[in-house]
Amino acid sequence: MCRSSADTVADISYDPKPSDLLLLKLHGSVNWWPRLGYVKPFALDAIVHHYFRQRSSWRNSYDRALVARHLEPEPVIVPPVLSKSDLVAQPVLRLVWSLAYERLSKADAVTFIGYSFPATDTAARVLFSEALADLPPDAVTVVGLETDEIGGEALKARYRDVLGPIPDDCFFMDGALEWVQHLPASDPPS
């Protein structure tokens, strides 16, 4: 968990509630900012979680401009890449990708929501193909928002190219609402 950017100007004690949900941002986040003065590759403790817009929480008791002056000018983010070298150069991303591989390789089912599986994201394609190699194709669910049949077929082809013959009924092209409506009543998403 990234500490708050407010920690750059004051010691904030924050004890988050444990959660069963693990969210791994494989390419970083526009909310992850390095503390001022750290150099690349950024150490894990150099990264803080920062919001630039106002939020109603304890974090807002600090002057946003003051906090921003203690941060580097660019967030920690790596766009979809052809090689993993850009990713493994950053310790925080190396950790995230290791956790992703570990969790994915143990998964009984995987749901992709809103991921277009671009051909240029070679590193992610390798991660998913290796980590999910033993997962049956019908244990993969893809939730997309394709506006036409051609786009839907292209998305299916990109997923099948990496993960095998995923059945048509595992694709939901009208967004998350359609997907949620197909879930068993006893198994709502959390």
The sign of the dihedral angle between the CA atoms of 119, 161, 108, 115 is positive
- The answer to whether the CB of 125 falls within 8 A of the CB of 117 is yes
Dihedral class, residue 114 (left if φ above 0, else alpha if ψ from -120 to 50, else beta):
left
Q: What is the mean pLDDT of the chain?
A: 77
Does a structural domain hold residue 100? Answer: no
Run of H or E including 124:
helix 122-131
Which domain does 17 fall in, by range? 3-68
Does a structural domain hold residue 187? Answer: no
Confidence (pTM): 0.68
How many distinct structural domains can be found in the chain?
Answer: 2
pLDDT for the residue 58: 44
Residues in the chain, total: 190
pLDDT in tens, 55-76: 545 444 556 677 777 887 777 7
Does a structural domain hold residue 115? Answer: yes
In terms of domains, do 168 and 112 share one?
yes
Does a structural domain hold residue 159? Answer: yes
My answer on whether omega of the bond before 188 falls inside 30° of 0, hence cis, is: no
